[in-house]
Amino acid sequence: MNKQELFDYYQIKPKSIHKKGSASIISTDDKKYVIKKSKRKADSFAYLETRNFHNFPKVYSFCEDEIELMDYIEEKETPKEQKLEDLVYLTSILHNKTTFYKTVDMDYIKHLYEDLLERQNQFYQYYQDLQNMIELEVYMSPANYLLVRNISMVYYSLRKSHDYLERWYELVKENHPFRFCFIHGNLEASHLIENDDLYLISWDQSRVDLPIYDLEKFYRNSFLDISLRDMLEIYESKYTLKKEEIYFLLALLLIPDKIDITASEYLKTKQVTSIVFYLQRILSFLENNSEKTNYHTSHQ
């Protein structure tokens, strides 16, 4: 169906249409709708409903033509910190309601291990090359000086990432059952709408996968506004993580982002500052939970 065919099929008579980001808001006499292109799988919401998860706007079309039509929900103003806590809680419910166990073969485990190991090595080499280039400069730029001052923390974080990967591998390499669930894939504050209930939107990256990937994405997007400890305590109130899941999450989180060296000096300095602060928060968390990492926040 194209847009007009959708409107005709659902007897929607637009009074006005205006753009909001990548979507269009359709106003009629009695309600509003959202219409946008979508890459979401056609049966995603139908599956969630079978699992008794209904925290998304009512969807009318199911992406046969990559067009999604759904109810528009007015958002009530909520403090960002509260919104992030609500998002973590809702994610734990999503994972809890869609979890299943599956014994995976060794090829799958090796793929996860080798993929993350390669990523760690690439980032280590990337920062070494960057450091070598910077140290050739007679006068360092502010961004480069800040990075060199903190480069030991970057290398330490990558070594810790490798340590947690090895711990994870030791636990799962013996024919271990994995927990899978339906994940959102792109958790951030703007994808939660709060009204009479909580509603998740922007499901284009949703899929069945390891729950850890939602947590990694969420924390990278939100670390300035919520601590890792708070995130895990809220999440584990509904969905307790296993030791191997904690190890894999930490292995992922301890890898810093890359720096866009083509950006302006101002933006590069912001990027380096963000990376430094991010790593400080992660490493502080590990230090303050040293007896448990071997760790469990909610079970200390």
Tell me what pLDDT residue 300 has: 34
Tell me what pLDDT residue 153 has: 97
Number of domains in the chain: 2
Q: Kindly state whether residues 11 and 133 are assigned to the same domain.
A: no
For residue range 174-217, list pLDDT tens digits in order. 867 899 999 999 999 999 999 989 999 999 899 999 999 999 99
- Domain of residue 9 covers 3-71
Q: Kindly state whether residues 178 and 34 are assigned to the same domain.
A: no
User: Is the sign of the CA dihedral 184, 162, 127, 225 positive or negative?
Assistant: positive
Q: Kindly state whether residues 153 and 256 are assigned to the same domain.
A: yes
- Look up the CATH number of the domain holding residue 222: 3.90.1200.10
For residue range 258-276, list pLDDT tens digits in order. 999 899 999 999 999 999 9
Q: Kindly state whether residues 227 and 266 are assigned to the same domain.
A: yes
Q: Kindly state whether residues 38 and 96 are assigned to the same domain.
A: no
Q: Which of 45, 71, 97 is the last residue of a domain?
A: 71
Q: Kindly state whether residues 66 and 87 are assigned to the same domain.
A: no
Q: Which of 33, 48, 71 is the last residue of a domain?
A: 71
Q: Kindly state whether residues 266 and 138 are assigned to the same domain.
A: yes
Q: Which of 31, 51, 71 is the last residue of a domain?
A: 71
Q: Which residue has the higher pLDDT, 293 or 29?
A: 29
Q: Kindly state whether residues 161 and 220 are assigned to the same domain.
A: yes
Question: Global pTM?
Answer: 0.91
For residue range 112-165, list pLDDT tens digits in order. 999 999 999 999 999 999 999 999 988 999 999 999 999 999 999 999 999 999
Categorise residue 57: left if φ over 0, alpha if ψ from -120 to 50, beta otherwise: beta
Q: Kindly state whether residues 46 and 126 are assigned to the same domain.
A: no
Q: Kindly state whether residues 103 and 151 are assigned to the same domain.
A: yes
Tell me what pLDDT residue 199 has: 96
Q: How far is residue 162's CA from residue 117's CA, in Å, rounded to a whole number?
A: 7
Q: Kindly state whether residues 64 and 100 are assigned to the same domain.
A: no
